[in-house]
């Protein structure tokens, strides 16, 4: 029976969290978009679920329609908190969107991943882990780098959004460039932001679409600190690009 059913970010497009207690585990189901817009509330909700007496957390991610690196960062922090409390975090049935984000971010090996909730909560859980989805817990505690040696690359989508819609979305984003810089202390978003600004100034529509996709790919690879302006403009741009083109293809 569900203990909670919480709208982490109000629909449409938000993230919903529901929790229940099952076989000594807290099972939380996430449904919707796991992105930078939901991270502050989701982080607090997941940390609130964890207690010294309920520190074993299973996350069902089969209903997540989008995931970026900022959303994954919340899961990493939640896992660390669970470990500090003497518990654990396990992921169940990551959707294709989550699977791509895990691979691109290099975090796939940082989690124990299972095909079903039953597999994640059974005493013989190690034997039923998804093949190739995560390494043995002991090996993951070694000094393996978080980022893989060879990063997946994105191929360009063929479709380009309408000129007016794209320019309006980029204009709104660049109007909050200070917020993006403040949220990006490692300056990982500087190059795609500068490319956006150049293409916008030069009225280069194809270049603008390419720079927008580069920015969205960076959001998938690297987390960015939350701010309302960053969350809103990133989501608007992603929905515009996503509404007219196929998702990036890993190569």
- Asked if residue 177 is part of any domain, the answer here is yes
Residues 136, 160 within the same domain: no
DSSP 87: -
134 and 222 housed in the same domain: no
CA distance 58 to 43: 15
Of 33 and 132, the one with more pLDDT: 33
Instruction: Give residue 110's Cα distance to chain centre.
Output: 14
Mean pLDDT of the 209-232 span: 94
- Mean per-residue pLDDT of the chain: 81
The pLDDT score that the predictor gives to residue 226 is: 93
Q: pLDDT (tens digit, 9 = 90+) per residue, 102-114? A: 998 888 888 999 9
- Residue 33 and residue 123 in one domain: yes
220 pLDDT higher than 50: yes
pLDDT of res. 126: 45
* Main-chain phi, psi angles of 81, to 5 degrees: -65, -40
- 174 and 120 in a common domain: no
Last residue of a domain, one of 116, 140, 164: 140
* pLDDT for position 244: 43
Residue 152 has pLDDT above 60, yes or no: no
Res 181 pLDDT > 80: yes
Residues 186 and 136 in one domain: no
pLDDT score for 145: 27
User: Looking at residue 106, what is its pLDDT?
Assistant: 87
> Are 134 and 160 members of one domain?
no
Give one DSSP letter per residue of 172-229, joined into a string: HHHHTHHHHHHT-TT-TTHHHHHHHHHHHHTT-HHHHHHHHHHHHHHHHHS-----HH
Quick one: 100 and 165 in the same domain? Answer: no
149 in a structural domain: no
Query: Residue 150: pLDDT band by 50, 70, 90 thresholds?
Result: very low
Residue 232 lies in a domain: yes
Domain boundaries, position 189: 154-250
Measured at the alpha carbon of residue 121, what is the angle toward residues 116 and 125, in degrees to the nearest 5? Answer: 85
Within 8 A by CB and 6+ apart from 45, the residues are: 6, 8, 17
Residue with tokens 């690297």: 222
In a shared domain, residues 125 and 173: no
Residue 188 in any domain: the answer is yes
Instruction: Count structural domains, the chain.
Output: 2
The Cα–Cα gap between 42 and 78 comes to: 10
Residue ending a domain, choose from 140, 171, 196: 140
**235-247 per-position pLDDT tens digit:** 999 989 874 433 3
Residue 146 lies in a domain: no
Q: Residue 13 is part of a domain; what is its CATH number?
A: 3.30.750.24
Number of C-beta neighbours around residue 77 at 10 A? 15
pLDDT for the residue 63: 95
**Residue range 151-162: average pLDDT?**
49
* 47, 85: one domain: yes
Q: Which of 25-29, 115-119, 124-128, 188-192 shows the lowest mean pLDDT across its residues? A: 124-128
Answer yes or no: is pLDDT of 29 > 50. Answer: yes
Q: Is residue 215 part of a domain?
A: yes
Looking at the structure, tell me whether residues 206 and 242 fall in a common domain: yes
What pLDDT was estimated at residue 146?
A: 27
Is this prediction's pTM over 0.85? no
pLDDT in tens, 47-94: 999 999 899 999 999 999 999 999 999 999 999 999 999 999 999 999
The pLDDT assigned to 175 comes to 97
pLDDT reading at 251 higher than 90: no
């Amino acid at each position: 029976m569900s203990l909670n059913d919480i709208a982490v970010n109000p629909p449409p497009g938000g993230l919903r969290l529901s929790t229940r207690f099952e076989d000594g585990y807290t099972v939380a189901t996430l449904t919707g978009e796991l992105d930078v817009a939901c991270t502050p509330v989701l982080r607090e909700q997941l940390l609130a679920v964890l207690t010294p007496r309920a520190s074993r957390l299973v996350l069902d991610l089969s209903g997540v329609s989008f995931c970026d690196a900022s959303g994954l960062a919340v899961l990493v922090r939640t896992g660390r908190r669970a470990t500090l409390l003497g518990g654990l975090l396990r992921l169940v049935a990551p959707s294709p969107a989550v699977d791509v984000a895990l691979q691109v971010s290099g975090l796939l090996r940082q989690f124990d991943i299972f095909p079903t909730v039953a597999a994640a909560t059974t005493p013989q859980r190690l034997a039923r882990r998804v093949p190739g989805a995560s390494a043995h817990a002991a090996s993951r505690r070694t000094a393996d780098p978080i980022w893989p040696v060879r990063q997946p690359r994105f191929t360009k989508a063929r479709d380009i959004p309408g000129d007016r819609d794209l320019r309006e979305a980029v204009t709104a984003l660049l109007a909050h460039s200070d917020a993006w810089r403040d949220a990006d202390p490692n300056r990982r978003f500087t190059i795609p932001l500068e490319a956006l600004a150049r293409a916008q100034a030069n009225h280069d529509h194809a270049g603008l679409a390419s720079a927008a996709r580069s920015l969205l790919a960076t959001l998938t690879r690297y987390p960015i600190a939350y701010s309302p302006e960053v969350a809103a403009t990133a989501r608007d741009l992603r929905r515009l690009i996503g509404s007219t083109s196929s998702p990036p293809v890993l190569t």
